[in-house]
Amino acid sequence: MGRTHRALPGSAAAFLIAAAAWFLGPCARSEVAPSYSITVRLSNFAFTPDHLLLRADLPVRLHLVNDSRGGHNFSAPALFAASTFPNGAPPPEGEVDVRSGQAVDVVFVPRVPGTYKVRCTHFLHTFFGMTGSVVVEGPSR
């Protein structure tokens, strides 16, 4: 007697596919988890803190929070050019826009030790003091 094979009902097949995707999902992801996180508040003409200390070759999450009524950005083109972005592309033109009342996360790995300037490029914001710096120290050994 020959055996007959029955196909799985549609819902059972869908369940098996979903279960496999859930189980194998973490294996397929290539996102890099940051080693540490720093919150920077963007308010009326100020970054708080306005001086950051990062370690080369350690992934960091910058959590940028705009507490003001107007838009701001975190412009650090030299820093971002000297970094890698394992979870995506670098910010266009080295600037991260943060709308009023919003927050944006940027995960990157600074690669080159040095001191980098940060500023808000919105009209007159730099003039009114919305500037800062980021120091990237060499990797720990």
5 assigned to some structural domain: no
Under a CB-based contact definition with an 8 Å cutoff, are residues 74 and 99 in contact?
Answer: no
Is the predicted pLDDT of residue 19 greater than 90, yes or no?
no
89 assigned to some structural domain: yes
pLDDT tens digits along 47-70: 999 999 999 999 999 999 999 999
1 assigned to some structural domain: no
pLDDT tens digits along 29-47: 457 788 999 999 999 999 9
Is the predicted pLDDT of residue 9 greater than 70, yes or no?
no
pLDDT of residue 21: 43
Residue 119: CATH number of its domain: 2.60.40.420
130 assigned to some structural domain: yes
pLDDT tens digits along 81-113: 999 999 999 999 999 999 999 999 999 999 999
pLDDT of residue 25: 43
Q: Enter the tokens of residue 141.
A: 């050994």
Q: Enter the tokens of residue 36.
A: 């540490």
Give the helix/strand (H/E) hosting 135: strand 131-137
18 assigned to some structural domain: no
pLDDT of residue 140: 77
Residues in the chain: 141
Total domains in the fold of the chain:
1
Alpha-carbon gap, residue 89 to 95, rounded angstroms: 12
pTM higher than the cut 0.85: no
* Arithmetic mean of pLDDT, 5-14: 50
